[in-house]
Amino acid sequence: MSESSPGGPERRARELRRALRHHSYLYYVRNQPEISDERFDELFRELKALEASHAELVTPDSPTQRVGAEPLDAFETIEHTAPMLSLDSSADVEPLERFDERMRRALGDDIGYVVEPKLDGASIELVYESGRLSRAVTRGDGVRGEGVTENIRTIQSVPLRLRTADRDAPPLLALRAEIIMRVGDFEALNARLLESDRPPFANPRNAAAGSLRQLDPRITSARPLDIYVYDILAIDGRPPATQRATLEALREWGLPVNERCRPAADVGEILAFQAEIEDGRDDLEYEIDGIVIKLDDIAARDEVGETSHHPRWAFAFKFPPRKEVTRLLHIFPSVGRTGVVTPIAFMRPVELGGVTVSRANLHNREEVARKDIREGDRVRVQRAGDVIPQVLERIDEPGRERAEPWVMPAECPSCGALLEPRGPYTFCPNLFACPAQLAGRIQHLGSRHALDIEGLGEETANLLVRQGVIGRVPELFELEATKLVELEGFAEKSATNLVRAIAEARTTELARFIYGLGIPEIGVTVARELASHFLSFEAFREAAAAGKAAPAGDEAPAGEEAPAGEALQEVDGIGPLMAEQISAFLARPEVSAVVDELRSCVEPVPPPRAGDTLAGLRIVLTGGLESMSRSEAGKKIEALGAKVTSSVSRQTSYVVAGENPGRKLERAQTLGVEILDEAGLLRLLSDGPGALSPPEDVSAPDEAPEPGAAGDASAPDAP
């Protein structure tokens, strides 16, 4: 059709876009191309020329629009549509067998699994709205990650628009996928980097992750990235009933799915699949480090639920670590951020699974003595989980004279303070004055999950301490660009950018500030729980010190004073030992002084909270809502003190069922959990539970059991 005919350019552009999407689907998903690469390129060039001469025809999901965004200053932090949990894992058969036993105890013997290769790449969330790619977010901490949408758009195997020839696209579809770089592409990329005198990547996973986090999408577009999609995180509408149906739905939407996924009935079939995959591992064109086992039935997954860290319905069965032999050259005591002095083995470089390894963590002085590892020894090295190098054992060399046994020095190699043994570990007590600890604490304070100060990495933190620019942590906020430009590696722009980033960090989220202090036992999740519970740093600090503080608005009964840190145990995930360690750390005079100074520099902002009208409730959302997205609804619910959970149980207070609800609605009906429509949710948010009939307590009967009934502790037969 010519451009001069009615609707010519517009119609031709639609035809070309449709053809290019179809052939991309055949190439990347079905592996059944119908046209040559040259013909595909001809169609692409025609569409590009047509859009160049008719700018009004360009659409955001056009195949020509994969690259074109300007470089970013920084990545935006975005909350996931649903949590991206990690997997429980092991390389031993016994934990796998226990996993299978738990599933059968909970669900009976009539269960099935789907087994898949465990891809070794960078995990990503893809969100499609009305069939169009709207955002892509790195896994991050599992709750929030970095928005890398423009970079993901450059990957040819990622459809910008879902295919709907065989299955309609839902209004919202959030997917979990793995970004990979195939081994051949990785080797070719490293060859190009070496030719241009640039450092190569250590392995395909690092190459994929590094390429994904380029601020300039044009750099990402030049990297040979690929993708496999393997799970639905959230969907508006009824989800597929099984994992096998999920994988088929993903294929029908035009998304690449790994071809080696298959069903398994029991542990025997799982082990057979693992052996088959491991045997052909070196022949695969991509890196894997094990297999993943998932319950096939999606409703059964809801029944077994999940922990705060991992789903109970899935398990990663890892390959045994790769091993090699090398020479241990030197053992050096390294001082970490928390003061732990760790022996580090420096070895003759050896390649393990495509990665060159030259040093390994020896953990503590007792571990070195137990393995009798000395400088000059020949040792067997492995990468645990194909990631962390470790010295497995010493190899005996008859007739070869060995060095003296290694001993931990008496003084800190960084500051000269006398070291203190605590069990098998050794500590430097010079908490903030030790240069190694100071640099580590500065780096931690500026890290991504803390104050997120762009440009304040390990190298910069070490430089600032080594050159005497910073002698105490709070002095970070006194830095001036004029001082920084005098240091090696800093120019006027980089110095100005760092000072500006530090200034912007003076106001931050309360959870970030708590995490950034580097308090023992407090990770990202616990910091977030503490911030939500206490709402101010002062309330948290008082609770750690005296045990009196309670959530905002509550007061301890007059005359009562709990032991130090006891109030911390009211927070999810904090037990007596953790509370004691947090309290002891904050009570140290030198810590208290630094915290006081930091509080004068940084203003921690409490999480948004409208009140506690829904405190204690557990709410599950299913289906689409008209007045707001499910994510927005979840935030409003949590701001009022309730918890939003992903699975229905007897402890669930309400299930909110929107349009096209999934199997969670059926589960709620089976358990007798109260169901709200969208109007009921809005009444709950505005007026609290009093606006509704009280949720049925399905965890206990309304009437006491008759004597002798199961669960009656007073029954004659009770033990």
Residue 278 φ then ψ, to 5°:
-65, -35
CB 606 within 8 A of CB 629: no
Long-range contacts (CB closer than 8 Å, 24 or more residues apart) made by 31-38: 31/259
Closest CA to 186 of 201, 166, 170, 168: 201
Is residue 600 within a helix (H) or strand (E), and if so which, with residue range? Answer: helix 589-601
CB 664 within 8 A of CB 622: yes
What is the secondary structure of 495-516 as a DSSP string?
Answer: HHHHHHHHHHTTEEEHHHHHHH
Question: Strands 507-509 and 603-605, how do they pair?
Answer: parallel
Closest CA to 171 of 208, 131, 126, 227: 131
How many whole angstroms separate alpha carbon 259 and alpha carbon 229?
11
Q: Vertex 446, ends 419 and 141: CA angle to 5°?
A: 100
CB 235 within 8 A of CB 174: yes
Helix (H, G, I), strand (E, B) or coil at 554: coil
Beta-carbon-side half-sphere exposure of residue 235 (alpha carbons within 13 Å): 22
Q: Which residues contact 652 (CB under 8 A, 6 or more apart)?
A: 618, 619, 620, 645, 668, 671, 673
- Per-residue tokens: 495: 């110095």
What is the secondary structure of 130-195 as a DSSP string?
Answer: TTEEEEEEE-TTSSEEEB-HHHHTT-TTS-SB---SSSPPPSEEEEEEEEE--HHHHHHHHHHHHH
The CA-atom distances, in angstroms, between 446 and each of 455, 471, 518 are: 9, 16, 11
Closest CA to 162 of 125, 138, 129: 129
How many whole angstroms separate alpha carbon 25 and alpha carbon 161?
11
Rounded to 10 deg, the angle between the 204-212 and 183-195 helix axes is: 70
Burial state string for 673-682 with b = 16 or more CB within 10 A and e = fewer than 16 = bbbbebebbb
CB 250 within 8 A of CB 228: no
Question: Strands 341-352 and 314-318, how do they pair?
Answer: unpaired
The CA-atom distances, in angstroms, between 248 and each of 166, 251, 254, 261, 263 are: 11, 5, 10, 11, 13
Q: Which residues pair with 228 in a beta bridge?
A: 178
Closest CA to 85 of 137, 140, 159: 140
CB 284 within 8 A of CB 310: no
Q: Vertex 338, ends 332 and 340: CA angle to 5°?
A: 35
Helix (H, G, I), strand (E, B) or coil at 52: helix
How many whole angstroms separate alpha carbon 396 and alpha carbon 379?
9
Q: Vertex 406, ends 405 and 409: CA angle to 5°?
A: 140
- Residues serving a catalytic function are 118
Quick one: CA dihedral 365, 369, 371, 372, positive or negative? positive
